[in-house]
């Protein structure tokens, strides 16, 4: 489980600062959510009461129109009155069903039940009148008195009770909303006060524990960089700045005690300028040795002598390659770009390793050579040496009689050349340009890969390795597809 940072560190201070504002945001958000939820519930309740009131008024209107149809059928012998009566009956029943869906259990349901009961009595009486073909005086009196004075009065009483119930609920809802508004006005200043308090606290804390100690560290570092190695930075503030001040003080003390050693190191670095001269003096004898061995090899028929001469030539070529790589690594060349294909560069490099391949009875297998290759901006000399060095590494890493795989590919934006050996993997990190097991390569000076990295970077490309101990290594050269170099 990851431990929380202590508060007397920069990370802990920033965490405390952030948590304070997160706490403020949570409080504000909680207040807003509670208020929004209450407001939403109030709005939904208001809409529900309004919808119920609308349904009640609609039912009452339909009821009056239905009563009119009863009088039309009884007194005017309207033959369509019964159909209209049934139509309004369906409308009223639908309205009562909708009203019940909107109601809540309790007083609202009871009030709706009262309306439904009064309407049921009303329908029973009106249906009896509608079934009669002709009305007697007694039926007319019943229609005039009982229907209008009693049954319809019960309906009106039920509707009035329901109206009062809705009005009381709306009044309570308005009072509840007013209470929430009053409470909200009391809660609004709370986040503001918290924000001001946190701002003042954070500003003072950051100034005393971060800003001022950091300014002291920067001032001390400037003095030390100007040569005042005896200056001591005060250790104060959060723990990270204290450790930083102590580290700078220790560094200053070590610099002061190692001035003489630094001067000696500079003298030794100046000796690096002698390397080109030494390399030149080595190259001249090497050229003579190789030329003599080559001439003798051409004139010599003894197989044993020929083998010795070939070994001499290989050794001289290897020494020449080491010297060239060393010079190039210490004094980088500026590339001279021309239009060439990476595949042709690879062909030229492969032609230079035929003798090594024959000595180890190895072969080159090419893939992707059957397609047309695109011209790109490339320094063919540097890139040939790069491919040559990487191919030499593959030969040295592979056992005798194996095959080195060259694969050429193109994408919409890049050209790629991969070289796969049959060795047991690399024991050094080519990206870091250093060995990982404390040993240099047995058959090389260790500069081939750094040289390749430098050349490929000059071409804005990438050198990618896929290698693990115990399996073959694949190195990939990826160059951009363009005809002009970028300065």
Q: Return the HEC string of 295-350.
A: HHHHHCCCHHHHHHHHHHHHHHHHHHHHHHHHHHHHCCCCCCCEEECHHHHHHHHH
The whole-number pLDDT of residue 260 equals 53
The whole-number pLDDT of residue 3 equals 44
Whether 408 has a pLDDT exceeding 90, the answer reads yes
The whole-number pLDDT of residue 418 equals 94
Of 84-98, 115-129, 198-212, the range with the lowest mean pLDDT is 198-212
Rounded alpha-carbon distances, angstroms, from residue 239 to 224, 236, 249, 252: 22, 8, 15, 20
Mean per-residue pLDDT for 258-274? Answer: 55
The whole-number pLDDT of residue 162 equals 82
* N-to-C CA span, the chain: 51
| More confidently predicted of 8 and 95 | 95
**Burial (CB count within 10 angstroms: exposed 0-12, middle 13-18, buried 19+), residue 284:** exposed
Please state at what angle helix 152-187 crosses helix 189-206, rounded to 10 degrees.
Answer: 20
The whole-number pLDDT of residue 343 equals 92
Per-residue pLDDT band at 331 (split at 50, 70, 90): low
Structure tokens at 334: 């500026």
Whether 480 has a pLDDT exceeding 90, the answer reads yes
Going by C-beta distance under 8 Å and a sequence separation of 6 or more, which residues neighbour residue 182?
A: none
Percent of the chain with pLDDT over 90: 10
Tell me what the pLDDT averaged over the chain comes to: 76
Per-residue pLDDT band at 415 (split at 50, 70, 90): very high
Mean per-residue pLDDT for 429-443? Answer: 47
Task: Name the phi and psi angles at 79, rounded to 5.
Answer: -70, -20
Contact between 462 and 448 (Cβ < 8 Å): no
The CATH number given to 334-480 is: 3.30.565.10
pLDDT tens figures, 43-98: 888 888 888 888 888 888 888 888 788 777 766 777 777 888 888 888 888 888 88
- Name the fold adopted by 10-187: 1.20.120
Whether 250 has a pLDDT exceeding 90, the answer reads no
Whether 422 has a pLDDT exceeding 70, the answer reads yes
- Greatest mean pLDDT among 21-25, 207-211, 218-222, 467-471: 218-222
């Amino acid at each position: 489980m990851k431990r929380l940072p202590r508060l007397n560190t920069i990370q802990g201070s920033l965490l405390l600062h952030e948590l304070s504002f997160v706490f403020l945001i949570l409080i504000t958000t909680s207040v807003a959510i509670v208020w929004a939820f209450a407001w939403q519930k109030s709005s939904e309740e208001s809409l529900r009461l309004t919808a119920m009131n609308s349904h009640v008024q609609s039912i009452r209107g339909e009821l009056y129109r239905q009563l009119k149809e009863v009088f039309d059928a009884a007194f005017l012998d309207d033959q369509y009155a019964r159909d209209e009566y049934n139509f309004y009956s369906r409308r009223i029943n639908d309205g009562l069903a909708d009203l019940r869906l909107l109601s809540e259990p309790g007083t609202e349901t009871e009030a709706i039940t009262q309306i439904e009961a009064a309407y049921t009595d009303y329908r029973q009486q009106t249906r009896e009148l509608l079934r009669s073909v002709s009305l007697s005086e007694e039926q007319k009196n019943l229609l005039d008195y009982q229907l209008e004075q009693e049954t319809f009065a019960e309906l009106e009483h039920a509707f009035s009770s329901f109206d009062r119930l809705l009005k009381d609920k709306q009044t309570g809802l308005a009072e509840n909303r007013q209470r929430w508004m009053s409470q909200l006005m009391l809660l609004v200043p709370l986040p503001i006060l918290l924000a001001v308090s946190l701002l003042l606290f954070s500003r003072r804390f950051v100034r005393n524990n971060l800003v001022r100690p950091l300014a002291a560290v920067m001032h001390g570092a400037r003095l030390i960089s100007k040569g005042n190695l005896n200056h001591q930075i005060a250790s104060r503030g959060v723990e990270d700045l204290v450790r930083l001040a102590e580290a700078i003080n220790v560094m200053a003390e070590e610099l002061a005690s190692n001035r003489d050693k630094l001067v000696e190191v500079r003298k030794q670095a100046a000796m690096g300028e002698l390397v080109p001269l030494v390399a030149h003096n080595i190259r001249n004898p090497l050229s003579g040795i190789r030329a003599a061995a080559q001439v003798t090899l051409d004139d010599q028929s003894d197989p044993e002598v020929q083998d010795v001469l070939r070994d001499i030539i290989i050794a001289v070529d290897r020494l020449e390659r080491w010297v060239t790589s060393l010079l190039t690594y210490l004094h980088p060349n500026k590339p001279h770009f021309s239009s060439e294909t990476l595949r042709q560069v690879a062909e030229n490099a492969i032609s230079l390793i035929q003798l090594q391949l024959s000595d180890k009875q190895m072969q080159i297998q090419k893939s992707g050579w059957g397609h047309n290759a695109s011209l790109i901006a490339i320094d063919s000399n540097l890139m040939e040496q790069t491919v040559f060095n990487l191919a030499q590494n593959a030969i040295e890493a592979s056992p005798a009689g194996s095959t080195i795989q060259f694969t050429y590919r193109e994408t919409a934006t890049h050209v790629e050349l991969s070289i796969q050996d049959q060795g047991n993997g690399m024991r050094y990190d080519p990206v870091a340009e250093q060995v990982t097991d404390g040993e240099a390569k047995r058959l090389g000076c260790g500069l081939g890969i750094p040289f390749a990295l430098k050349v490929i970077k000059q071409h804005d490309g990438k050198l990618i390795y896929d290698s693990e101990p115990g399996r073959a290594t694949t190195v990939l050269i990826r160059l951009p597809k363009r005809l002009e170099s970028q300065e």
